[in-house]
Structure 1
């Protein structure tokens, strides 16, 4: 029912611009709301004692159902006529991937285009957290849902009650979205474009109302605004909350935040020199384009201001590697997440010390706290499974008849929820040329990446379905 209500703003834009898609949205709203209402009354008296198993199942099935109902506006309006196109665009939106099968975005009806942006904003922090925050009448604590939904290996709590935590996360999310929209508007965007880009920037989604994405806007003010808010959206929202409340010692204590900011700055500076050399532009523009693309890819936003595949092949490879970073845990970014990379690097470095001093106790610490062996094992397993899925997924795409660069690029960008990649899915391309089965497969990879692999994969294990 909440999902249906979030379609309403698109109706207003459709009427205002007279784009002719208002009834398509209204029909989708009615269908979605009625189904939600029937489900609510059918199951409202059921046992609401949700354990971890039910939490994972609810999150997984909720995202699948949202994807099914979220594609109705596309189908009812005729924007897409095939199931594979509609489900791909919807899942790409909800998972904040930003890969698109639209070949001409600017002719898409305004209401539908707004709904497309809204799907990314909804997926940003997760519809489950939103539901737990706003609907206490459900009568559940929500901790299992939050853990399953949380975009990262840990869920730092701002408040001991999970409902209060969810509310505060959404207040930060909403406040930053409004601020980004105002700055975009001040910078020269129309109100409609500013709202759409604010939604997709804070969601690290990357859907744009322009075919050229952010390259359409040559204003340095707009591009630096996008860089700032992409960076914030890729930051752990608890860190942002502590910064906004004046608890700066908690911000500087975050090893992940320091690593995240340092890596972005180092890559931006180092890559700006060869890009300045290979492009016909002044250094400020070369640095701005470099910083923009580095932040966009690391935070998995996917906006583009330049074609990074048009430079030297070595630079293309470096930009491709950025797809595997991901932002911070507890942010709206996809990808592997910096805290996992940081844990892996620190543990690998300490392993040399353990080899030299086999009897020494050498603990691994993040943010000054000792990381348990269980968490290290979980992170190592995640990295291994992520790599295996990337390799196997690339093989599947190659067997479907696509060249190796395109296969690598499509799987990496969908699994990491980024958007652009390399091959035929570069920053100036889209995904419309893929076959129906390929789009369904890539949609599945997007869900896997958005829900941190285990939330989906655990449903395919016999242990999950065995009785207690």
Structure 2
């Protein structure tokens, strides 16, 4: 079976056109603020859109059919192409001077990791800051889903793209047509972003800060307009509570949000993953709050100076950081690696949890953990009753062996890549804590890590090879491992 290269190139062109359009939005913002980067961002947009139009023009007679192989190639190379073109505003404006640093910042944005190499974020032009946040927002729900939502050129073949890009092992469809599914998801995504922007503005942020943080929150990205991230607003708890709510929503399955808006609340209450996701957040936040409060490591804000204020502050920072790490958003209100040794290990463990399947969060995902744990428990019963057929059940339905094997394979591969990622960073000169933390954070799309890559630092200290390696780990994690790794196998390229 021959590879349909023309449709691949055509969609690359479509993605470049979308990318260039968002750059024009950043250029428009730059012009409003007169930050000096308007022409540079506009030029980046023109170059990007020009390449996109050329690719679409020369492949205009393509066969509109996307099979499984083309789907994997389009998603993987789509992310790479978008990241390469996304570097241009940084390079043209001089905000980032080297290709290595520009690519790291860009792929960190599109993969919603939020790791940065920038030492002084607040000195950047407003247009560049907005572009930085937009890379999060584009990558959050998925570049491919965006493309098929806006221009349904693929017909039923779009399902191959959606399957390759959709975060998590489950693929709940809201509508039989894939383009309608994508539109509904993006409408919810857009609605949440607008709502959070308005609430943050009412809570005291400037409109510019509000929209940037809303873009980063709903994508579970974590890029901030302030060097101190959300710690800049430690004297405004309401801003942090608003962010907490929307981080939680972004880390939950967007299909459940659709059910809520259509009045099917019982579907949410019966959802097993959501119940555990909510329970994990509550239990882990209480544990973290107790650890902070009892050890006296409370980041007391100016707004709450009394004893009750210390308790509230401990709870708020614990809740904020637990949700920020579980949902892989990566916003920071305090350096959680400096609280206690127990909490340092505690937050390291949370990096492997992840949010819900069907969310914008990274990580392994709660659903996979549940299936692995359930299967492990059932192995005891199977040992006692070797002839009995005891299936894994999830949401009161039997989970096929194929899905169970896929989940186990994903978990084993994830941990193996984490070990390899840590070894490579160690080989490149990072100390043990930094190497292990950097690999876990990059693969899980979390952002802040440990050691030299702690929450109040950045990734600028990485050697150039380390930045490219972490970028590769980010891409692997964002596209759920298999999508990227499968195209690296010789079997994938064999003619069938």
Q: Please, what TM-score do these two structures have when normalized by structure 1?
A: 0.99
Query: In the alignment, does 2:190 pair up with 1:184?
Result: no
Residue in structure 2 matched with residue 291 of structure 1 by the alignment: 319
The answer to which of 280-289 and 431-440 deviates more is: 280-289
**Residue of 356, 366, 372 corresponding to 2:394:** 366
Unaligned runs of 5+ in 2: 1-16, 301-309
What pairs with 1:244-393 in structure 2 (closer than 5 Å)? 244-278=261-295, 279-280=297-298, 281=300, 282-393=310-421
CA distance in 1, matches of 2:73, 2:465: 25
CA distance in 2, matches of 1:433, 1:44: 45
Residue in structure 2 matched with residue 432 of structure 1 by the alignment: 460
CA distance in 2, matches of 1:124, 1:429: 24
**Residue of 223, 247, 250 corresponding to 1:230:** 247
C-alpha displacement of 1:44: 2.2
Query: In the alignment, does 2:39 pair up with 1:23?
Result: yes
C-alpha displacement of 1:153: 1.1
CA distance in 1, matches of 2:152, 2:490: 33
CA distance in 2, matches of 1:81, 1:197: 25
Deviations 1:225-256 (A, max 9, x none): 00000000000000111011110121112111
Residue in structure 2 matched with residue 121 of structure 1 by the alignment: 137
Unaligned runs of 5+ in 1: none
C-alpha displacement of 1:140: 5.3
C-alpha displacement of 1:368: 1.3
Residue in structure 2 matched with residue 458 of structure 1 by the alignment: 486
SS at match of 1:270: helix
Q: How many pairs does the alignment contain?
A: 468
Q: Which runs of 4+ in 1 moved over 4 A?
A: none
Deviations 1:76-125 (A, max 9, x none): 00111111100000000000000000000000111001000000000001
**Residue of 193, 216, 221 corresponding to 2:232:** 216
The answer to which of 36-45 and 289-298 deviates more is: 36-45
Residue in structure 1 matched with residue 76 of structure 2 by the alignment: 60
C-alpha displacement of 1:31: 0.3
C-alpha displacement of 1:138: 4.7
C-alpha displacement of 1:17: 1.4
Residue in structure 1 matched with residue 219 of structure 2 by the alignment: 203
C-alpha displacement of 1:139: 4.6
Query: In the alignment, does 2:114 pair up with 1:102?
Result: no
C-alpha displacement of 1:137: 3.7
CA distance in 2, matches of 1:140, 1:164: 11
Contact 2:354 2:362 in 1 (8 A): yes
What pairs with 1:22-61 in structure 2 (closer than 5 Å)? 22-61=38-77
The answer to which of 347-356 and 440-449 deviates more is: 347-356
CA distance in 2, matches of 1:345, 1:243: 28
Contact 2:156 2:178 in 1 (8 A): no
Residue in structure 2 matched with residue 397 of structure 1 by the alignment: 425
C-alpha displacement of 1:388: 0.5
Deviations 1:359-399 (A, max 9, x none): 22211111111100000101111000100110011111111
Contact 2:65 2:154 in 1 (8 A): no
SS at match of 2:157: coil
CA distance in 1, matches of 2:444, 2:154: 32
